[in-house]
C-alpha cells in the first residue's frame, strides 16, 4: 500500500485547486461522474462533468442527449 500523507494540496503548486464545499455538485458528489444501477458510469449531466455547481449554473443540460432503451446516456 502507498505512503499516507497529510500534506495539503495548494492551488497553483501542481495539485488540484481547492473547491468550496458549498459548490460541489450534489448529483455526483463532486466526482463529475454518475452511475446507473448496473454501475455504468457517465459524465454528470447536472455539472457537465466538472464536479462543481454554483448558484448561477443551470441544472438543465446545455443540449439534449440521447438515451438507450434502458435509459442510459449515449455518448
Percent of the chain residues topping a pLDDT of 70: 73
Q: Is the pLDDT of residue 20 over 70?
A: yes
d(CA 61, CA 65): 8
Any idea which of 13-17, 39-43, 53-57 has the lowest mean pLDDT? 13-17
Q: Is the pLDDT of residue 9 over 50?
A: no
Joined grid coordinates for residue 61: 443540460
- Rg of the chain over Cα atoms, rounded to whole angstroms, equals 16
Q: Is the pLDDT of residue 17 over 90?
A: no
Amino acid at each position: 500500500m502507498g505512503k499516507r500523507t497529510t500534506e495539503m494540496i495548494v492551488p497553483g503548486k501542481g495539485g488540484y485547486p481547492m473547491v468550496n464545499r458549498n459548490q460541489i455538485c450534489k448529483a455526483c458528489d463532486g466526482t463529475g461522474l454518475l452511475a446507473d444501477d448496473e454501475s455504468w458510469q457517465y459524465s454528470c449531466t447536472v455539472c457537465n462533468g466538472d464536479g462543481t455547481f454554483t448558484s448561477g449554473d443551470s441544472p438543465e443540460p446545455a443540449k439534449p442527449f440521447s438515451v438507450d432503451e434502458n435509459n442510459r446516456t449515449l455518448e
